[in-house]
Amino acid sequence: MRAINLNGFGGPEVMEWTTAPAPAPGHGEVLIEVAAAGVNRADLLQRQGFYPPPAGASEIIGLEVSGVIAELGDGVHDWQVGDRVCALLSGGGYAERVVVAATQVLAVPDGLDLGAAAGLPEVAATVWSNLVTTAGLHAGQLVLIHGGGSGIGTHAIQLAVTRGARVAVTAGSQQKLERCKELGASVLINYRDDDFVARIRAEESGAGGPGADIILDNMGAAYLPRNVEALARHGHLVVIGMQGGVSGELNLAALLGKWGSIHANNVRNRPATGNHSKATIIADLKRHVWPLIADGTIVPVIHAEIPIEDAPEAHRMLDSAETFGKVILRVREI
Mean pLDDT, all residues of the chain: 96
CB atoms within 10 A of CB 74: 9
3-state secondary structure the chain: CEEEEECCCCCHHHEEEEECCCCCCCCCEEEEEEEEEEECHHHHHHHCCCCCCCCCCCCCCCCEEEEEEEEECCCCCCCCCCCEEEEECCCCCCECEEEEEHHHEEECCCCCCHHHHCCCHHHHHHHHHHHHHHCCCCCCCEEEECCCCEHHHHHHHHHHHHCCCEEEEEECCHHHHHHHHHHCCCEEEECCCCCHHHHHHCCECCCCCECEEEEEECCHHHHHHHHHHHEEEEEEEEECCCCCCCCCCCCHHHHHHCCCEEEECCCCCCCCCCCCCHHHHHHHHHHHHHHHHHCCCCCCCEEEEEEHHHHHHHHHHHCCCCCCEEEEEECCCC
Render pLDDT for 120-179 as a digit per residue (tens, 0 to 9): 999 999 999 999 999 999 999 999 999 999 999 999 999 999 999 999 999 999 999 999
pLDDT exceeds cutoff 90 at 334? no
Report the alpha-carbon distance of residue 271 to residue 158 in Å, rounded.
27
Render pLDDT for 171-216 as a digit per residue (tens, 0 to 9): 999 999 999 999 999 999 999 999 999 999 999 999 899 999 999 9
Pairing state of beta strands 212-217 and 187-190?
unpaired
Question: What percentage of the chain exceeds 70 in pLDDT?
Answer: 100
pLDDT exceeds cutoff 90 at 249? no
2-120+300-330, which class in CATH? Answer: alpha beta
124-264, which class in CATH? Answer: alpha beta
Pairing state of beta strands 29-39 and 97-101?
antiparallel
Banded model confidence at residue 244, pLDDT cuts 50, 70, 90: confident
Q: Where are the domains of the chain?
A: 2-120+300-330, 124-264
Query: Per-residue pLDDT averaged across 98-116, rounded?
Result: 97
Q: Are 159 and 289 in contact (CB under 8 A)?
A: yes
